[in-house]
Structure 1
Amino acid sequence: MNPLRWNFRLQMFAGAGVCAALLAFAIYTQMRLGLEPCSLCIYQRLAFAALGVVFVLAGLHGPRNRAGRATYGVLGVIAAAVGAGIATRHVWVQSQPQDFMTSCGPPLSFLNETMGPFEAFRTVLTATGNCGDIDWTFLGLTMPMWCLVWFVVLGLWALACGLRKGKGAR
């Protein structure tokens, strides 16, 4: 069964399922493997959640016209691009020499209490230290590298599904 031939709703629900599986794996690695997420990890999880919400809304709505499907495709690409940007920053932080980065900064709860949301977001994106620790790899790629791969794949999936011709009402 070729997923590119599925109807739009099923394709969007499949994308949401992948996002849910990735978030479940992140929670599993935290709870069972003891890998504590850094600030950049938390923002990547939020980006996967946002992308999953776009997929779910697109699947529930199931627009019949091409413009509606394209809108959801573009929204998916935007959410994936934001996540890919955060993952790219995380990969960069991990590629720096260990003595260059000293800490990820204060916890998110402290940032939320003492700063506005935009300043807190900026502060987290300048994270250092344990964001640079590599605690897990699979096939030679770290967790942020895998996140980057999945953001690119899911962004392309959203775009391909949103821009393909529909087969009528579904």
Structure 2
Amino acid sequence: MRTHLARLGVRHWSLAGLAFCVLMMAVALGLEHIAGLEPCPLCIFQRVAVLSAAAVFAVAAIHNPEGRVGAGLYGVLGLAAVAGGIGVAGRHLWLQSLPPEEVPSCGPGLDYMMELLPWRDVVAMVLSGSGECAEIDLLFLGISLPGWTLIGFVVLALAPLGILLSAFRERG
């Protein structure tokens, strides 16, 4: 099995990563539109990270670079998008772990902030967290949604790591 995984190319890893991104977004949109769970600002940032990774994987799958430089670039870009998602999901979990008296107060909605503030200030405010991000709306097997998203990002990290493996393995 290990040798089979080592033989997978950039396109295979990219398509696998893209498929997993589609799955993650389908779950997120299903929870929003079917289960009625409104995403908080940190949830939206996690979706942006998934979509960023999906864009990298889609371009990598279409391009399917042969050389180490191209494949390495896609691997690093994909890993950066996934790492961003891991960071935001981790921050979200941390906010949920705070005692109620330490939870930041609820701030304005993301749409409102995007209309009035520069992008940099919006990012800083969202990452500082708010009360709505600390709410736990759903537990599945004892793990909150940001916890599952963090697990999803860790699994998703296998795709860019696979791309990097294919970029730097010896060619025979």
Q: What TM-score do the two structures reach when normalised by structure 2?
A: 0.89
Q: Please give the alpha-carbon distance, in whole angstroms, between the structure 1 residues aligned to 2:105 and 2:121.
A: 18
C-alpha change, 1:104 and 1:63, in structure 2 (3 Å) is: farther
Assess if the C-alpha contact under 8 Å between 2:12 and 2:61 holds in 1.
yes
2:154 corresponds in structure 1 to 152
2:143 corresponds in structure 1 to 141
Amino acid of the residue matched to residue 158 of structure 1?
Answer: P
1:27 corresponds in structure 2 to 29
Q: Deviations over 1:30-57 (max 9, x none)?
A: 1111111100000000000000101111
% same residue: 41
Stretch moving more, 100-109 or 125-134: 100-109
Choose the corresponding residue for 2:85, options 59, 83, 86.
Answer: 83
Mapping 1:98-137, distance limit 5 Å: 98-101=100-103, 103-137=105-139
The alignment's C-alpha RMSD in Å is 1.9
Mapping 1:42-61, distance limit 5 Å: 42-61=44-63
Q: Please give the alpha-carbon distance, in whole angstroms, between the structure 2 residues aligned to 1:143 and 1:104.
A: 19
Unaligned runs of 5+ in 2: none
Assess if the C-alpha contact under 8 Å between 1:104 and 1:124 holds in 2.
no
Q: What TM-score do the two structures reach when normalised by structure 1?
A: 0.90
Aligned pairs, number? 168
C-alpha change, 1:9 and 1:104, in structure 2 (3 Å) is: farther
| Residue 153 (structure 1) shift | 2.1
